[in-house]
């Protein structure tokens, strides 16, 4: 699967989630981009196996993150262009503060 196809899966997952799709469906969409098999040397140590798996997972995970960032940037630009009473930055700051408070409770 190409990086662009993975980004499209991320956007599809966000769209499905916002449309009220079942969380299981969204998870299945995201799982489609993850490898189901890994190539590791037969005589590899546990550390070498871990590194091989990590290397094979890093590209799809990076593409998913890039897809989420692409979607967020598009939505944030559209939001801010509408001259809202609350900017995207303020919404993010408020969210960060709320999450930080949850960690201290």
Q: Provide the residue range defining the domain that includes 58.
A: 3-104
State the pLDDT confidence band at 103, using cuts at 50, 70 and 90: confident
Pairwise CA distance, residues 12 & 2, whole Å: 15
CA distance to 15, 32, 35, 82, per residue, from 60 (Å): 19, 10, 8, 33
**DSSP-assigned letter for residue 32:** T
Pairwise CA distance, residues 74 & 1, whole Å: 23
Residue written as tokens 């890994």? 38
How many domains in the chain? Answer: 1
pLDDT (tens digit per residue) in 21-72: 999 999 999 999 999 999 999 999 999 999 999 999 999 999 999 999 999 9
């Amino acid at each position: 699967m190409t990086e662009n196809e993975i980004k499209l899966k991320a956007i599809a997952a966000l769209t499905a989630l916002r449309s009220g799709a079942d969380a299981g469906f969204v998870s299945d969409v995201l799982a489609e981009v993850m490898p189901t098999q890994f190539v590791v040397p037969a005589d590899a140590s546990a550390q070498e196996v871990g590194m091989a798996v990590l290397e094979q997972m890093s590209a799809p995970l990076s593409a998913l993150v890039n897809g989420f960032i692409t979607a967020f940037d598009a939505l944030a630009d559209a939001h801010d262009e509408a001259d809202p009473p609350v900017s995207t930055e303020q919404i993010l700051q408020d969210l960060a503060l709320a999450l930080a408070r949850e960690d201290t409770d």
